[in-house]
Structures are given as structure tokens and as C-alpha cells.
């Protein structure tokens, strides 16, 4: 974040003051665009969604050629990413860093893609990585910075390292003013952070109040939101009524204690999942996201950092192929469903109607679903095996306690699993031939809050079609081995 990021212009058309001031105040809101989806939207469709919704910044987790090509001439500011598994290569080879910059930055800038940042890694110091990237992140960062300078881009494109909020802590007191970098990685974080600051680059942090609620059943729920219903936390006379402010200011204090008081901060990810957990639902997601957007719109900042906050919402679209190791909610962070349809009402302050604008001109597969046969007896031994297989290769993260499909009965649960696998495999007949227990229906089995989805037509017809076919054939062999 360049500090100050942007000032507020004076609204001079008096009748339009409320609307125009709202729009101006959130000028520059960003969104994360992930692509771990079995049926990704065409990149051009996603860029149109970004433009239609007034989202002026986008953060990518790699340098996907299709996405970058679609962003050409859009004017949208872009942060491209270098995945963690490439850090070792970038760290050990200056030539590799130069080649990466040439291919993934310089070439796209020439094609009118507005690349402003390169994210070197993504949460590389996350505690669960057990130090895997401790020694490669900084050298990779140095080499990418040097490659940008050599390409004449040192002032136009800035480097950054998106960090999880667990790289700093507030100690036993738990208040922001006790904030400092985590003791076991302090030297690594300081080295990287000082280097970023010296090169005019921001500290990028991902902040997730939902995760605190997910891992700690005693976490005060109201403290996760922005509407002032939580019991305040007093920090030497400074009052905190929500976790975001407290977390953000813990970082501000950590920077200040390490001689970096004026360093810019970007919130690289902030969001709330809509499914996959009892606290992941549309109601909470809407409440959190709208609360945050209203804060951004007001330009209020936090007690330690007044003024506009630069942030990228996490995320734009659901991704049904994300790892669920952290939790089933991982596939449900999107403000939009997989098909680009809004999940809930959310006023970003960037559209005339105040409503989210959905993806346009989509083509869906046929209106048919794979379900459990009515005649099947529930003690059929192939059912459990078939469901296990379908969920392993499909997406059953909406099943379970407190989820959108948590109220289904046993037969509906089985049908949901079957249909997920069937849709992911583009409704090919063989994908609904679980041994004598499944059938195709044209009657929508959706009920209540539980949607039995229909996939959109695959965009990458060639490559994805081949991948789906190979995956299906391999899966079919596995299924036969299971049930024989």
C-alpha cells in the first residue's frame, strides 16, 4: 500500500453525494481469483465480472496465461503469484528468476496487462509448513527483485510476500500493543520485511477471523464481526470491538517495534466461507463481508492506522478442487458460486444498484441429476463403497453438521454424493452407473438450502475434456476393484 493510498475527492453533485462518495471511498477494492476448479469460468467471463462489479484489483496465485491474457487492456491492477513450490528454483537461480519475470511480467506488460505486484510465495511461513520455506523465501525474493530491476521494472512492479497472520503474535497479554514477529521466525521475517520496506514494497497479510472461530470453540463469536456487539477489549485506553482491527494493529505494533513504523500494509486475503462448517454459512458470510465493506467505504482504518485500507476479498469464486485438509470450508470462500452467481446480497459500493452483478452468458449441462434408486435397500453393501468413492473424486463438503445440506436424510446424502461425481464428470452416462444403486433423473432433488448442482459446460474443451476422460477411466477401474 502506498501511504497515503488515496484521498477522498469532494463530491460536488449534491443530489448524488451519498452514492458518489460511497463509490469513491471504495475505489480500488480487490479480489482474489483462484482457479482450482473442475469447471472454471472462461477467463474473459471472470474479467467481465470484475469490471461489472467495479473491482479494480485482482490477485492471482500464479501467472496463469489465460487469466493474464483476458486482463489485457482491462485497466485492472494485477498481483501475479509465484507458488511456494517454485521458491527453491527462484532462490537458487538468478537465470530462472529473470526468465520468470520476462515470461510472466514483461511479456504481459507489453500486452497492456496492468501488473503492479509480484507475490513471492503464499503464506510460506505458515506454522503448518514446519519451516519448509524458511531458507528459500528471502533468496527468491531478492532474485525476483533483482530481475525486475534488470528488466527496468523496479519502480513500476513491486514485490511482496503474502503472509499468514500467524507470523506475528501478541504474547500472553493478547493485546495489540504487545505485538511482535513470532519469536521462532523473527529473524527471517525481519530480514524479509526490511528488504521489502527498503524497496518501497508493502507488507501483505492475510487476516481471517473465521479461522479463529473455527479452531477455538471458546472464541467470542461477536468479536469476529464489525457491528459492535462484542465485549470490547481495552489496550491501554484503546478500545477494540472486532478481531480484524486488533489483528491488523498487532501487525502495526510489530512493524513499529522493528523500526518499520511507516511501512505500507495490504490485506491480501480477507473473507468468510459460506459452507462446509457450522459457522460457514451465507448469513455469517454476508454479515462479515458487508461489515468489512462498510468499514472500507467509511475509510475509517484502525486505531493505529487511520485512513483507507487496501484489501483483496477472499475470494471471488468457489473452487471445488481446493485441498480440504484445513477444513471442508476451503471450497466455499467465494462471494460467487462456481458458476459466477451471487450467494448473498453484498453492496461493494461500486455498482449503481448496490448489488453484485453475476456472470453472463453461461451454458449449463442438461437438467438431469444422478441419484440413489428408490428400489435400493439401504443395507446394500455397495452403497457405502460407492459413496466413499464418489466423495473422494467429487465434492461432498456441503454434507455434514451445520452445512447447507446438513439436514438431508440418508438417501438424500447418498444421492448428493452420486450427483457431485456425475456433474464433475460432465454427466457422462458411465458416471452414474454405481453398481445397481444409481439412476439418472430429471426431477431436481434440491431441497431447502441444499442445492444439487448442475455444472456449466467445460471451458477448456480439449485439455479438460481429456483430463476428465482419463480421470474417469482411472476412477472406473478403481471402483471396479473396490466393488469386486
Tens digits of residue pLDDT in 231-256: 999 999 999 999 999 999 999 999 99
For residue 28, the tally of other CB atoms under 10 A from its CB is: 19
Q: Which of 24, 44, 77, 123 is catalytic?
A: 123
Please state, in angstroms and rounded to a whole number, the distance separating the CA atoms of residues 325 and 340. 25
Euclidean distance between CA atoms 470 and 130, whole angstroms: 35
Indicate the DSSP class of residue 449: T
C-alpha cell at 333: 470462500
**Percentage with pLDDT > 90 across the chain:** 85
What are the backbone angles phi and psi of residue 474, rounded to the nearest 5°? -60, -45
Determine contact, residues 194/260, Cβ cutoff 8 Å. Answer: yes
What pLDDT is recorded for position 213? 95
123 catalytically annotated: yes
* Annotated catalytic residue, options 98, 269, 310, 319: 269
Name the nearest CA neighbour of 431 among 419, 414, 442, 443: 419
Cell 451471487 -> residue: 342
Pairing of strands 30-33, 57-60: parallel
Average pLDDT along the chain: 90
Confidence category of residue 351, pLDDT binned at 50, 70, 90: confident
The torsion region of residue 73 among left (phi > 0), alpha (psi -120 to 50) and beta comes to left
Q: How many CB atoms lie within 10 A of CB 8?
A: 12
Please say whether the beta carbons of 288 and 243 come within 8 A.
Answer: no
Nearest to 40 by CA among 433, 443, 424: 424
Most distant CA pair in the chain: distance in Å?
Answer: 75
User: For position 28, what pLDDT does the model report?
Assistant: 64
Q: 108 with 73: CB under 8 angstroms?
A: no
> How far separated are the first and last CA of the chain, in Å rounded?
59
| pLDDT value at residue 300 | 86
- CB-CB contact of 424 with 453 (8 Å): no
Q: What is the pLDDT of residue 477?
A: 46
C-alpha cell at 393: 473424486
Rounded to the nearest 5 degrees, what angle is found at the Cα of 293, between the Cα atoms of 257 and 227? Answer: 85
SS3 424: helix
CA 248 to chain centre: 19
Give the mean model confidence (pLDDT) for residues 155-163.
Answer: 98
**pLDDT value at 86 more than 60:** yes
Please report, for the chain, how many H helices and E strands are present, in that order: 14, 15
Q: What is the DSSP string of 195-249?
A: HHHHTTPPEEEE--HHHHHHH-TTS-GGGGSSSS-SPPEEETTEEE-SHHHHHHH
Integer Cα distance of 324 and 64 in angstroms: 23
pTM of the model: 0.89
Q: How many CB atoms lie within 10 A of CB 257?
A: 15
In the structure, what pLDDT confidence band is assigned to residue 298 with cuts at 50, 70 and 90?
confident
The pLDDT value recorded for residue 171 is 85
**Cβ neighbours of residue 404 under 8 Å, at least 6 residues apart?**
274, 275, 281, 398, 449, 450, 451
For residue 460, the model assigns a pLDDT of 65
35 falls in which pLDDT band (50, 70, 90)? very high
Angle 454-456-460 from CA coordinates, rounded to 5°: 145
DSSP lists the bridge partners of residue 32 as: 59
CB atoms within 10 A of CB 453: 21
Amino acid at each position: 500500500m502506498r501511504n497515503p493510498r488515496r484521498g477522498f475527492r469532494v463530491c460536488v453533485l449534491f443530489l448524488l453525494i451519498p452514492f458518489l462518495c460511497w463509490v469513491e471511498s471504495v475505489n480500488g477494492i480487490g479480489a482474489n481469483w483462484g482457479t482450482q476448479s473442475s469447471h472454471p469460468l472462461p477467463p474473459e467471463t471472470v474479467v467481465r465480472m470484475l469490471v461489472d462489479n467495479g473491482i479494480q484489483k485482482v490477485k492471482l496465485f500464479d501467472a496463469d496465461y489465460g487469466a493474464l491474457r483476458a486482463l489485457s487492456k482491462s485497466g485492472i491492477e494485477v498481483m501475479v503469484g509465484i507458488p511456494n513450490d517454485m521458491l527453491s528454483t527462484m532462490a537458487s537461480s538468478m537465470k530462472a528468476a529473470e526468465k520468470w519475470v520476462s515470461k510472466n511480467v514483461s511479456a504481459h506488460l507489453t500486452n497492456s496487462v496492468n501488473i503492479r505486484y509480484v507475490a513471492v510465495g503464499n503464506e510460506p511461513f505458515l506454522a503448518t509448513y514446519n519451516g519448509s520455506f524458511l531458507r528459500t523465501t528471502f533468496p527468491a525474493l531478492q532474485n525476483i527483485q533483482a530481475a525486475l530491476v534488470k528488466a527496468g521494472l523496479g519502480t513500476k512492479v513491486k514485490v511482496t510476500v503474502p503472509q499468514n497472520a500467524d507470523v506475528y503474535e501478541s504474547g500472553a497479554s493478547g493485546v495489540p500493543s504487545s505485538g511482535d514477529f513470532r519469536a521462532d521466525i523473527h529473524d527471517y521475517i525481519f530480514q524479509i520485511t526490511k528488504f521489502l520496506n527498503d524497496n518501497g514494497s508493502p507488507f501483505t497479510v492475510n487476516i481471517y477471523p473465521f479461522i479463529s472461530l473455527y479452531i477455538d470453540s471458546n472464541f467470542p463469536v461477536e468479536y469476529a464481526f464489525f457491528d459492535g456487539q462484542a465485549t470490547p477489549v481495552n489496550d491501554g485506553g484503546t478500545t477494540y470491538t472486532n478481531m480484524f482491527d486488533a489483528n491488523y494493529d498487532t501487525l502495526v505494533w510489530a512493524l513499529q517495534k522493528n523500526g518499520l513504523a511507516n511501512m505500507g500494509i495490504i490485506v491480501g486475503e480477507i473473507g468468510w466461507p459460506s459452507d462446509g462448517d457450522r459457522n460457514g454459512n451465507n448469513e455469517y458470510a454476508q454479515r462479515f463481508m458487508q461489515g468489512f465493506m462498510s468499514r472500507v467505504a467509511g475509510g475509517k482504518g484502525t486505531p493505529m492506522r487511520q485512513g483507507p485500507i487496501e484489501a483483496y476479498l477472499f475470494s471471488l469464486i468457489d473452487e471445488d478442487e481446493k485441498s480440504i485438509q484445513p477444513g471442508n470450508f476451503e471450497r466455499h470462500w467465494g462471494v460467487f458460486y462456481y458458476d459466477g452467481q451471487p450467494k448473498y446480497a453484498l453492496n461493494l459500493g461500486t455498482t449503481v444498484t448496490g448489488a453484485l452483478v453475476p456472470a453472463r452468458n453461461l451454458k449449463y449441462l442438461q437438467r438431469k441429476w444422478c441419484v440413489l434408486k428408490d428400489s435400493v435397500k439401504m443395507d446394500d453393501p455397495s452403497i457405502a463403497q460407492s459413496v466413499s468413492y464418489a466423495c473422494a473424486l467429487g465434492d461432498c463438503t456441503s454434507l455434514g453438521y451445520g452445512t447447507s445440506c446438513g439436514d438431508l436424510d440418508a438417501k438424500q446424502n447418498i444421492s448428493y454424493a452420486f450427483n457431485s461425481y456425475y456433474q464433475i464428470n460432465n454427466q457422462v452416462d458411465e458416471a452414474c452407473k454405481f453398481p445397481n444403486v444409481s439412476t439418472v433423473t430429471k426431477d431436481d432433488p434440491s431441497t431447502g438450502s441444499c442445492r444439487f448442482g448442475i455444472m456449466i459446460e467445460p471451458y477448456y474443451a480439449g485439455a479438460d475434456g481429456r483430463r476428465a476422460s482419463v480421470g474417469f477411466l482411472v476412477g472406473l477401474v478403481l471402483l471396479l476393484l473396490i466393488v469386486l
